[in-house]
Amino acid sequence: MQVIILGSGSPLPDPQRAGPSTLVRTAIGDLLFDCGRGVLMRAAAVASGAGAFQALLLTHLHSDHITDLNDLFTMRWVMSFSPNPLPVFGPSGTAALLQATAAMLEPDIGYRLAHHDDLQWRPSAAVTEVESGVILDRGTVRVTAAPTDHAPVRPTVGYRIDDGERSVVIAGDTVPCAGLDVLCAGADVLVHTVVRRDLIEQIGLPRLVDVLDYHSSVPEAAKTAERNGVRTLILTHLVPAPAPGTEQEWLDQAIAHFKGEVVLATDLLTLDV
């Protein structure tokens, strides 16, 4: 199994960091978790793409985690040579999101159907709304969902991917919570979104300070990893983006609370599990 951070950024546009998205390569193929800004550009860099994804799994419906859903939906359609519905898993509201995306794209769908004689079907998605439990079980791969806490965003979910004896957890945006602990127990890798409380408080802008009450700080993510016996913690969705030369500060805040390996995400960071 392999973890590839396609996008390590946040809602704030950054020339070096695409929007939140993680690719997990498994025995059944590529699983995509969230689809933030620039996801297909980053996927192209690792020889993947819309047609290759075995499933898209959304942690929640905040805009920065679904920015490029329309691009993924369209490219899977126009780059396939027969009907190829996009399997999508996500919290309640995901089906409505896909319906709204298709409606938004209706002019484009019409243009392409009129122009390409060999394109005789419409784009589609096979949506499964999830809350908890095993949601995908195929071959050696099992994916489990559990509720997380990103209130007032509700519902939100995290995912655990087990492939044989290896396991990866995708936390999404959340504060420490029981659902995340269930997913993390004994995991090899935890991919966790984090914010720097100290820096955000120094900046002091109310709209930025607001993010502190529904995201985990670096120490909180580290404590979650330590409490659950995680082997490697990947810090991603970094707010604010680390200034050059300050990367070690982020690592030090985690190392103070976690005995395992800590990795600060960059786009296209690849980790063999």
Mean pLDDT for the chain overall:
97
Task: Fill in the amino acid letter for 204.
Answer: G
Indicate which CATH number applies to the domain containing 214.
Answer: 3.60.15.10
pLDDT for position 62:
98
- Please report, rounded to a whole number, the percentage of residues in the chain having pLDDT higher than 90: 100
pLDDT digits (tens, 9 = 90+) for 96-114: 999 999 999 999 999 999 9
- Spell out the residues 6+ positions from residue 181 whose beta carbon is closer than 8 angstroms to its own: 224, 227, 228
Would residue 64 show up in a list of annotated catalytic residues for this protein? yes
SS3 category, 244? coil
pLDDT for position 195:
98
Q: Alpha-carbon Rg of the chain, whole angstroms?
A: 18
pLDDT digits (tens, 9 = 90+) for 156-205: 999 999 999 999 999 999 999 999 999 999 999 999 999 999 999 999 99
Selected catalytic residue, list 30, 64, 68, 163: 64
How many domains are there within the chain? Answer: 1
Q: Which domain holds residue 8?
A: 2-272
pLDDT for position 100:
98
pLDDT for position 14:
95
pLDDT for position 54:
98
Whether residue 270 contacts residue 46, with contact meaning beta carbons closer than 8 Å, is answered with yes
Task: Name the CA dihedral angle for 272, 135, 137, 133, rounded to a multiple of 10 degrees.
Answer: 90
Q: Which long-range contacts (CB under 8 A, 24 or more apart) does 106-114 make?
A: 108/74, 112/78
Task: Fill in the amino acid letter for 206.
Answer: P
Residue spans of alpha helices (H) in 89-243: 94-104, 106-115, 178-184, 197-203, 206-209, 218-227
pLDDT digits (tens, 9 = 90+) for 121-130: 999 999 999 9
Tokens 């509700």 map to which residue? 154
pLDDT for position 230:
98
Residue 214 confidence class, pLDDT cut points 50, 70, 90: very high
Residue 1 confidence class, pLDDT cut points 50, 70, 90: very high
pLDDT for position 85:
97
E strand or H helix at 69, and its extent?
helix 69-78
- Please report, rounded to a whole number, the percentage of residues in the chain having pLDDT higher than 70: 100
pLDDT for position 189:
98
Nearest of 103, 99, 84, 88 to residue 31 by alpha carbon: 88
pLDDT digits (tens, 9 = 90+) for 14-42: 999 999 999 999 999 999 999 999 999 99
Whether residue 62 contacts residue 100, with contact meaning beta carbons closer than 8 Å, is answered with no
